[in-house]
């Protein structure tokens, strides 16, 4: 199994970026296949921090980085990110970055609509990242999107732009907003086009070549299974499929290409934005975890909600996404806790559930059933071998493995790239 697909198995921010970067030096290409700059992936290498939103996490190690067709691409955000990362000494050229020419664009009108809807929803808002992700995916599915390849045909874009803008003008009117200024939008597209086109190509072809040569492809998921538009806590989800199967459709390779599915799992649970969260801790324990884990969003800076490990959710995610093995991250954040709890089931109106029911109201009412385990006073921070972990931490990891019915392949013990314990090599297994 040469390829590896990394996905988040909770509500995002599990540490995907760190693990992708760690694996990237052994891969020949790193491919983003869904989401957009709603993602925030943090890499720490020798004390230097890189925050990536659209760029695949392979970019820092110099691995060929590919933005697949399943991504929604904000060209201005991309340009800013490229400038920022180049400012940190990373070289980004058309040699190491490729963008699918059939990738739909996120335009300023998408960001407007995202914001208008969230404001109008008041308390019922999704808590989106405000990046225009949902509206851009709607236009893709509605067959109105402007795509990367359209940037090479701006002189004939008018009818397409008219169709898109007519749709948005009607929506904007409902919010009391003026119509889209088509001329200004076309001008903005003209200005950004050369920057994006430099990287644009049919990436499926490039990846086919990479694959034929027997090279290793690392797929980098964004968000997490519980934010998947089908399988997540709908409607409090993102607007793409975040499950492993999307790696194929979102990059232009077949389903037999995804290889080892590595689910990234935080040793506790976090969520940013609205929606059900059965094990949420709104007390000082949660506050302590949030502080020790620096649980603030990479993209929006919002405080992440924090809770105990939920084995029901992770078991469900692993099943839905065909996870081969997990990487358990941030175990060090639990250091020093007297007791740790794991959710093993839910109680809902007198019945016990071993899965999360589909309806939002049921999800909101699920009461967690906990199993309690002793914590550990020793430090796991920076441990690089399984034998260095305290016995109680090993028991916790083993219990998680049992409950989620999936083996642990990696354990991460700090934000640093090399503070990682390898138990089962995803590129070999």
Which of 13, 74, 139, 419 is the binder for Mg ion (CB under 5 A)?
Answer: 13
Which are the contacts of 170, defined by CB distance < 8 A and separation ≥ 6?
Answer: none
Q: Is residue 126 part of the contact set for ligand IMO (CB under 6 A)?
A: yes
Which are the contacts of 161, defined by CB distance < 8 A and separation ≥ 6?
Answer: 146, 182, 185, 186
Compute the least distance from the CB of residue 291 to ligand GDP, in Å: 12
| Touching ligand GDP, residues 333-392 (CB under 6 A) | 333
Residues in the chain, how many? 429
Compute the least distance from the CB of residue 183 to Mg ion, in Å: 37
- CA 276 – CA 355 distance, rounded (Å): 14
Q: Is residue 104 part of the contact set for ligand IMO (CB under 6 A)?
A: no
- CA 42 – CA 145 distance, rounded (Å): 30
- CA 255 – CA 262 distance, rounded (Å): 15
Which of 10, 42, 69, 257 is the binder for ligand GDP (CB under 6 A)?
Answer: 42
313 Rama sector, left if φ>0, alpha if ψ -120 to 50, beta otherwise: alpha
Residue count at the site for ligand IMO (CB under 6 A)? 24
Compute the least distance from the CB of residue 219 to ligand IMO, in Å: 13
Which are the contacts of 294, defined by CB distance < 8 A and separation ≥ 6?
Answer: none
Q: Is residue 415 part of the contact set for ligand GDP (CB under 6 A)?
A: yes
Phi, psi of 48 (to 5 degrees): -100, 130
Q: Which residues are catalytic?
A: 13, 41
286: nearest Cα among 309, 264, 265:
309
Which of 63, 223, 316, 380 is the binder for ligand IMO (CB under 6 A)?
Answer: 223
154-to-158, 184, 255 alpha-carbon distances in Å: 8, 13, 34
| Touching ligand IMO, residues 253-312 (CB under 6 A) | 272-273, 298
- Contact between 85 and 47 (Cβ < 8 Å): no
Q: In this structure, what token pair is assigned to residue 58?
A: 């392979």
Compute the least distance from the CB of residue 154 to ligand IMO, in Å: 28
Scanning 38-46, 244-252, 365-373, 411-419 for contacts with ligand IMO by CB under 6 A, the matching segment is 38-46
Which of 128, 258, 324, 414 is the binder for ligand GDP (CB under 6 A)?
Answer: 414
Interface positions with ligand IMO (CB under 6 A) = 8, 11-13, 38-41, 126-129, 131, 133-134, 222-224, 227, 238-239, 272-273, 298
Residues that bind ligand GDP (CB under 6 A): 8, 12-18, 40-42, 44, 264, 294, 298, 329-330, 332-333, 412-415
Give residues in contact with Mg ion (CB under 5 A).
Answer: 13, 40, 298
């Amino acid at each position: 199994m040469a390829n590896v697909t990394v996905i988040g198995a909770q509500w995002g921010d599990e540490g995907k970026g760190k693990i992708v970067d760690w694996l990237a030096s052994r891969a020949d290409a790193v491919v983003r296949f869904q989401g957009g700059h709603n993602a925030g992936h943090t890499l720490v290498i020798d004390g230097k921090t890189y925050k990536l939103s659209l760029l695949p996490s392979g970019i820092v190690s110099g691995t060929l980085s590919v933005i697949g067709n399943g991504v929604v691409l904000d060209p201005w955000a991309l340009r800013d990110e490229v400038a920022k990362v180049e400012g940190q000494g990373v070289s980004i050229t058309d040699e190491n970055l490729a963008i699918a020419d059939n990738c739909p664009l996120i335009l300023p009108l998408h960001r407007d609509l995202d914001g208008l809807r969230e404001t109008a929803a008041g308390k019922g808002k999704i808590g989106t990242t405000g990046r225009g992700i949902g509206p851009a995916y709607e236009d893709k599915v509605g067959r109105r999107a402007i795509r990367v390849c359209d940037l090479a045909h701006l002189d004939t874009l008018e009818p397409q732009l008219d169709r898109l803008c007519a749709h948005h003008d009607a929506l904007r009117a409902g919010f009391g907003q003026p119509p889209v200024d088509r001329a200004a939008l076309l001008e903005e597209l003209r200005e950004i086009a050369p920057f994006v086109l430099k990287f644009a190509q049919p990436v499926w072809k490039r990846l086919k070549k990479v694959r034929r040569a027997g090279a290793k492809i690392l797929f980098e998921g964004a968000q997490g299974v519980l934010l998947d538009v089908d399988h997540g806590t709908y409607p409090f989800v993102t607007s793409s499929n975040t499950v492993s199967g999307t790696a194929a459709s979102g990059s232009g390779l077949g389903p037999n290409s995804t290889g080892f599915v590595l689910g990234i799992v935080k040793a506790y649970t976090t969520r940013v934005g609205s929606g059900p969260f059965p094990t949420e801790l709104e007390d000082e324990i949660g506050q302590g975890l949030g502080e020790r884990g620096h649980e603030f969003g990479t993209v929006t800076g919002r405080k992440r909600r924090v809770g105990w490990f939920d084995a029901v959710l992770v078991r469900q995610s692993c099943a839905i996404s065909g996870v081969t093995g997990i990487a358990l991250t941030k175990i060090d954040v639990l250091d020093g806790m007297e007791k740790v709890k794991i959710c093993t089931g839910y109680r809902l109106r007198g019945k016990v559930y071993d899965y999360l029911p589909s309806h939002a109201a049921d999800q909101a009412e699920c009461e967690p059933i906990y199993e309690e385990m002793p914590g550990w006073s020793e430090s796991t921070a920076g441990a690089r071998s399984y034998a260095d972990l305290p016995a109680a931490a090993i028991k916790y990891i083993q219990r998680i493995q049992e409950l989620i019915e999936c083996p642990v392949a990696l354990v991460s013990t700090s934000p640093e790239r090399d503070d990682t314990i390898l138990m089962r090599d995803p590129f070999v297994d």
